[in-house]
Structure 1
């Protein structure tokens, strides 16, 4: 069947880009660092190192792409024979001005971001006072919590209990051009959270912010708060037709799995497969591949590589979003 499939391992980089220093990302190399950590910290029963073992990805050219990108081989092989490759491979380096989700995905589909997004400063009370006041007024809220850069999983541990007591949603941002809102799915209400995000989507337009993200969670106390799969992104649409738009206009089909539909503002999408978590995303991807006809694109983002497994670089505990090269 004549189909194309994009399986994107979110933030799984293979070396840093030439302008990484500008973004504070010099030395970024997720694959290389995982290889080194595994060899140093994982041991077999006999005490020998347990290396990172990715034979299928190695067979598709991951180690070769990493060598091209890094200028040297990985310190340890990904399989028993990294030279056995059954696919074409290369690496790509972003030219977009930012390192956020929209910039990366748009560029992959032919629309690089050659303008500057707005970002909130990395400081306490990072949101403009007038913006916060409008969010509280138009959202009919008793106030808000957070107002800073934070890891989404950490901030619900920090402020989730206060949110339950006060009814104040948690607003925060990250290295991306984004405003995120965390609220308890049952106590605050999922639909109420979505409506609040729609209000904020309009309010942040003057600041050139790319996305507003609803981050619902459940639980009763800090120790058991967990984010649910009902995340929803309200994203600015691409400024020009992407590959998705052009394929659909030409009579083809685009099968979007997980957050891909949200990232592209549900434009150029034939069918959306909602899913969260690696297992469910993979199952949905297999279903999409089985159902996709000729002249179609299946596009999946395995977001957990970033949101669940991204390593923390500093005390700010920002998610892994780096100026990296991809294979």
Structure 2
């Protein structure tokens, strides 16, 4: 079997149970099982298409049948230190981050904040770990009154800057974040600087879709190798931002999960080869971090309802890959990501039988499989799952 096109969808934060090393990250992580807990919140997920790809076979998830199954299914353990978007996505493509990226549980120190304040011309507000929605409610009125940027972080390695679009033009916010990205290097090299524009009035603030991530890059990946061979790699959602544009030939911005699926479908109609790679962030941003298990479950069901639009466009020379980058269990204490196994589902119309992929030792198995499917020589970490797929495919 020769692959012509790889459709890759990351269900951001849809973890599937505490990882073996979850105890290193706290008691909430040890209790986490994002998929099971959100399914329990609605007395069982209604997601028959994901179940048919094998999601219900990976673990016991209320509502998901274990048969019949058409796809290849398993789960993956992260080897990189941490539980952030950056760590997960870079591990997929062959970069394992063994050293922790810096975090700031007490806020950013003077050597970071003072030059940033000098650049923007105003002192910052907050400068501590905070929930993104709560921080704009707490500091939004003062920000609107003074124009001072709201700077905050989380348990992840992030420097986040929130500003009201009617107070600070979005392009100016991006400029501030680019300065911060250039400032935050070396021992202060956070994984991402994130622009967080918002709108509205006190009590009715909402973050807008014009968020932008400014990420570190960590060297060449399988995506670079694919583009060097002439394969197009389209990043949908925040994919291009996560990789700092490296290995991405086209970037498409999205406003929601639903828009993300719409863009994937439209790109499948335009792009006949290479990689179409999307991140659907609403599970994380709208429901996981906001402790909304019912909303999280309904978002999974909404994605499942649209999945046939993608499945119906696959040819026998296409592969669909669905996975996640970490957990964000909305039922455990706190609003941080959770250190979890993540599902991996692979499907092609050429598959003739279900394929158990087992427990994979690293997220890098996806990158190794992607390289193998496109005929690239093996490089870096990860074990290809491609032989298991080929053995179950028609010629």
**Could you say whether these structures have the same fold, taking a TM-score greater than 0.5 normalized by the shorter chain as the test?**
yes
Q: CA deviation at 1:208?
A: 2.2
Whether contact under 8 Å (1:146, 1:159) holds in the other structure is: yes
TM-score between the two structures when normalised by the length of structure 1: 0.87
Q: CA deviation at 1:237?
A: 1.0
The one-character-per-residue Cα deviations of 1:156-209 (angstroms, maximum 9, x if unpaired) are: 111111100011110000121110000011211111111111111122213121
Whether contact under 8 Å (2:12, 2:284) holds in the other structure is: yes
Partner of 1:108: 92
Q: CA deviation at 1:313?
A: 6.0
Unaligned runs of 5+ in 2: 292-329, 344-395
Whether contact under 8 Å (1:139, 1:199) holds in the other structure is: no
Partner of 1:60: 53
Q: CA deviation at 1:129?
A: 2.1
The one-character-per-residue Cα deviations of 1:76-111 (angstroms, maximum 9, x if unpaired) are: 332xx4311011111111000121111100111121
Unaligned runs of 5+ in 1: 40-50, 68-72
- Whether 2:25 is the aligned partner of 1:23: answer yes
Give distance in 1, aligned partners of 2:331 and 2:182. 32
After superposition, residues 196-211 of structure 1 pair within 5 angstroms as 196-206=176-186, 207-211=188-192
The one-character-per-residue Cα deviations of 1:30-76 (angstroms, maximum 9, x if unpaired) are: 1111122222xxxxxxxxxxx321100000010112x2xxxxx33x3
Aligned residues: 298
Q: CA deviation at 1:288?
A: 1.7
Whether contact under 8 Å (1:145, 1:169) holds in the other structure is: yes
Give distance in 1, aligned partners of 2:99 and 2:267. 34
Give distance in 1, aligned partners of 2:207 and 2:231. 35
After superposition, residues 1-327 of structure 1 pair within 5 angstroms as 2-24=4-26, 25-39=29-43, 51-65=44-58, 67=59, 73-74=60-61, 76-78=62-64, 81-121=65-105, 123=106, 126-141=107-122, 143-206=123-186, 207-219=188-200, 221-238=201-218, 240-294=219-273, 296-310=274-288, 311=291, 312=330, 317-319=334-336, 321-327=337-343
TM-score between the two structures when normalised by the length of structure 2: 0.73
Q: What is the root-mean-square deviation in Å for CA atoms of aligned residues?
A: 1.5
Whether contact under 8 Å (2:32, 2:332) holds in the other structure is: no
User: Would you identify which runs of 4 or more consecutive aligned residues in structure 1 move more than 3 Å?
Assistant: 312-315
Give distance in 1, aligned partners of 2:271 and 2:73. 24
